[in-house]
Structure 1
Amino acid sequence: MTDIELQALVQQISQRDFHQPFLHRAYFNARLRSTGGRYQLQNHNIDINPKMLTDFDEATLIGVIKHELCHYHLHLAGRGYQHRDAEFKQLLAAVGGSRYAPAPKKRTVQAVRYHYVCANCGQAYPRKRRMDTRRYRCSRCGGPIKLA
């Protein structure tokens, strides 16, 4: 699904379930890590985590979209749009949106790419990033560190 298809889906859900148009932008945001979506108060756009589409079924994606649209429509109407507000909870239940997004699958941890060792005592220093060996010394003996 592309951003254009997501935009069309959000507009369709907004019109069908909320009986109001969605006049702003909806797009996938890969920087979202621990949430299903985000409603931006400043510009009224909606970001959706692309993992809601790849890791879960379409019903989960629609539930997240309805959740964000509840924030959207209530905020623009000047009513209680926060999670703790009764109006938000009532509207969310009325349209059948998801209260909580499922946790995305865990990211794979980047493997260690650089192996540094102390030239004197052999203390190992596994690192994900490269480091300037001239700036650092061994924490155990104070000797020079070299790339293994």
Structure 2
Amino acid sequence: MNHDRNFQSERERGFDLPQKIGFGILFFFLILSCRSASNRATSSADPETNARSAEADLLWEQRCSSCHGLDGTPNEFLQPKPRKLNGFGIKMGFFFGGDKMREGIFRTIRDGKNERMPSFQKELSEEQIRALVRKIERL
């Protein structure tokens, strides 16, 4: 009986499971947005970083956007369909996978994946490919 009273008092205080889950999800996205804002603030303060970012934007426009779109949304008419690079899944990959995710994307750009995703190893330097990886992370 005492256990029921404790459970009831927790509910009365507003600590039921759906609220806890909701606040947890809200907190997670708050942390994620703060991290993203921090990355943008850091990059906007450094002129060298801004120049590299502008170069990556130009490379993206010239080499990637025809398949992956300017904002990371793929061209729906291509087969096989290019990977969507601005969705929740890839954001979570960068958030939780970090360097492993970056290296995987680096290898895909450098080595290619299939007939639609060619290798850029002969056309782009390692630094240019890394700049594209950072660009994808910013999408």
TM-score, L = length of structure 2: 0.25
- Structure with more relative contact order (C-alpha pairs < 8 Å, separation 6 or more): 2
TM-score, L = length of structure 1: 0.24
> Greater helix share, 1 or 2?
2
> Greater strand share, 1 or 2?
1
Q: Point out the structure with max Rg over C-alpha.
A: 1
